[in-house]
Amino acid sequence: MHSDHFETRALHVGQAPESATGAVVVPIFQTSTFAQTDVGEHKGFDYARTANPTRAALEECLASLEGGAYGLAFSSGMGAITTLMLLLKSGDHVVVCDDVYGGTFRLFRRVLEDFGLEFTFVDMTNLDATARAFRANTRLAWIETPTNPLIKIVDIAAVAQIAKKQNAWTVVDNTFASPFLQQPLALGADIVLHSTTKYLGGHSDVVGGAIVTSHQEIFERLKFLQNAAGAVPGPFDCWLVLRGAKTLAVRMERHSANALRIAQMLEAHPAVARVFYPGLKSHPQFEIARKQMCDFGGMISFIARGGSDAARRIARATRLFTLGESLGGVESLIEVPAAMTHMSVAGSPLEVDAALVRLSVGIEHVEDLIADLNHALENG
């Protein structure tokens, strides 16, 4: 199935009616092994860590949504990141943007440095500093954009160009934007990565990860590593992500519309010192966001006036925004990164302001969300 349109591919790529029964929805192949036609001979599936038809459907669909040739699904976003890092060897160096998910930082700093990998964290909105961070042994440029939790925007095309000159691959963690809003491969990235737990799954009911690339040699190695390391998702989890992906386009439009209204409301609110949302003209990388994203997404952060105590009071006081980690689901969430998702960066140069509040804006009616936040800001 090929279409130029994202919405159509989300529903149909990898999802032709099933051949044996005509089932319109890809079945959940809940099996760990497959009968072989002869010793060592099979119909493409032998053992479910290596491949499973439900997972294969998801992988084909995700590759198409990112405009890539090959997709691989994983048991979590961290499972995808860990497997990707197995491409590297002791002594290799990675340039990483200085605002990343706390779990990514924790894996790099507290696990992989012990295996001889080297990391330099740099503000990738500063392209000169980014270029200077590369070394002879740099193998990867690691971008998150929008970043977690400060919602900075990194110019993917510019960083990918720098990395290419240095013979390094560019990886983009596209979790916050989703493939509907941003297509890093078309901007020059070599590898795209997702926590499918977030917008792709979309309903806060599954944990998963994914990698997409168009480089055959990277794909072959990652496919080998996916099987060798074994961080694979179960068939039901694949089915949930595939179902989520079908509605990604309509959800992202609503997430983005709601978030823009809320960001504007927060920017005008006296209890808020600063708002980080790439759709606001006040955002320092507004023009880059406009260039590389087709809309601005559902993630907002803001600094509460009154510091850490005020941030915590606001996060406790909302009723519709649920206090919780994660993001990208249809229901709105609120959290305080310094005490929750980004605890592991405490004491490092990536430490997050304790007054920062992060919102994952859902698809509830925007007036209800605004009323909820107004109430929390005034009574928090």
Give the residue numbers annotated as catalytic, written as ranges.
49, 101, 173, 198
**Closest alpha carbon to 106 in 299, 346, 339:** 346
Helix residue ranges per DSSP H, the chain = 6-12, 53-65, 77-85, 102-106, 127-132, 156-165, 178-181, 216-229, 235-246, 248-267, 286-292, 307-317, 366-379
Site for ligand P1T in 301-330 (CB under 6 A): 325-327
CA–CA separation, 149 vs 342, rounded Å?
8
- Letters for 85-124 (x = contact with ligand P1T by CB under 6 A, - = none) are ----------------x-xx--------------------
- Letters for 207-246 (x = contact with ligand P1T by CB under 6 A, - = none) are x-x-------------------------------------
Distant-in-sequence, close-in-space partners of 11: CB < 8 Å, separation ≥ 6: 246
Nearer to ligand P1T, 45 or 341 (CB): 341
* Site membership for ligand P1T, residue 173 (CB under 6 A): yes
Instruction: Report the residue from 182, 195, 256, 301 that binds ligand P1T according to the rule CB under 6 A.
Output: 195
Nearer to ligand P1T, 9 or 342 (CB): 342
**Closest alpha carbon to 215 in 191, 231, 251, 186:** 191
* Site membership for ligand P1T, residue 362 (CB under 6 A): no
Min dist. Cβ of residue 302 to ligand P1T (A): 16
Residue whose Cβ sits closest to ligand P1T? 77
* Site membership for ligand P1T, residue 144 (CB under 6 A): yes
Q: Which residues is 335 bridged to in the sheet? A: 358
**Closest alpha carbon to 197 in 93, 369, 111, 75:** 75
CA–CA separation, 357 vs 344, rounded Å?
17
Would you tell me which residues interact with ligand P1T (CB under 6 A)?
Answer: 76-78, 101, 103-104, 144, 148, 173, 175-176, 195, 197, 207, 209, 325-327, 341
